Amino acid sequence: MSNITNEGLILACSAIGAGLALIAGIGPGIGQGIAAGHGAAAVGRNPGAKGDIMSTMLLGQAVAETTGLYGLVIGLILLYANPLLSRFLKL
């Protein structure tokens, strides 16, 4: 038998969960890079529409970034606030 306590198990699972939540930042980074590349190509093809292209691209990037920020918030909550400790250790 191992000497793993309930607190140690919860902390280990929380750390793994936080790491998985932070992986959510990869998708928005790739998506924003693709959007910026396509936006630059569109401005190159039609320089007169630069304002419309840039505003649409920045709005899309802001929406895409929310996924990464939500993942970051969940990761920070699991690492530092850790609501699981207070809930399961009182049982």
pLDDT per position as a tens digit, 4-62: 888 888 888 889 999 999 888 888 889 888 988 999 999 999 999 999 999 998 898 88
Total domains in the fold of the chain: 1
Can you tell me the distance from the alpha carbon of 67 to that of 74, in angstroms, rounded to the nearest whole number? 11
> What is the average pLDDT across 61-85?
87
CATH of the domain at 51: 1.20.20.10
Q: Domain containing 37: what range?
A: 30-91
Can you tell me the distance from the alpha carbon of 69 to that of 15, in angstroms, rounded to the nearest whole number? 18
Nearest CA to 69 among 28, 16, 13? 28
Number of helices (H), then strands (E), belonging to the chain: the values are 4, 0
16 inside domain: no
59 inside domain: yes
